[in-house]
Amino acid sequence: MDQIVTVAAVVLSAAVLISAAMSDWRRREISDIHWGVLFCAGIVLFSYRLFTEGSEPIAYLMPLSMALMGYDCTFDRESSGSYDLAIYILIAVTSVVPFVIVGGETASVYASIPVTYACMNVLYMLGIVNGGADAKAIIAISMVFPEYPTLFDLPLIPVPDAISARLFTPAFTIFFLALVLSLLCPVVCAIRNIMWGRFVVPQMFMGTVMDIERAKRSFVWPLEHVSDGEVVLGSSAVTADGVLDELESMGRKEIWVTPMIPFVVPIAAAFLITMVLGSPFLIL
């Protein structure tokens, strides 16, 4: 991309991700408008790339497939097996056909977008990625930056070769770097609990003790629940409704809780780090 276009893409993406991160932190809710903006930006940028390269008409099936992915991610609809299947088939066809026919570097760069889309959908269905906004954020980033942008002397870590760039795409780097950053949460929890003298494993790494009334107003899940008339301290979050009221009825004033981690916050931080530093995975 031209330097001006690259600067605009980075600034726009950073602004959208920071706005989304602030919303995730404050409300644990993010409007799909954020991802719609990035999807549109990615479609325009890739179409611009095809136009400047003088690509043949069949190549424009690529941005069409991106539009279908964006539609699938941002527009709520009644779940229908046949309708969803039709969308997935259209995405597959508009992705595979131009990739096979056009080929070349542009098609190779584009391939990271449907691959990221498919991977994030699978991770979401498996429950590995808990938030839909988290998956949408990574897919949106893959559309705007299917390859590493070069902005003046950045990133600091150069991409050694095309193969590495295809394996460790910006979306891949940002996702896994966000996972690493999110691991700071257990460290913070452990330090806080050690300061308060709470040495309960593994709960001391998962959360903290909180007043139950405060827990009702906070973005946390209880680690305790009522079973057979007794309070049980577990090692996983209890997401069922009414758990706090049950614990309160048992006379509990304070309980162990684990925070609802706003994952878009580390995604936004990972994006900024990647734009400046590059992919740490490329130096391993």
| Confidence check: pLDDT of 79 > 70 | no
- Tens digits of residue pLDDT in 88-126: 999 999 999 999 998 888 898 999 999 999 999 999 888
Report CA-CA distances (Å) from 88 to 72, 98, 117, 133, 258.
9, 16, 11, 20, 36
Bridge partners (DSSP) of residue 4 are none
Q: Are 220 and 259 in contact (CB under 8 A)?
A: yes
**Does 274 or 165 have the greater pLDDT score?**
274
Average pLDDT on 198-204 reads 93
pTM over 0.85, yes/no: yes
- For the chain, state the CA radius of gyration: 22
Cβ partners under 8 Å of residue 72, min gap 6: 87, 88, 91
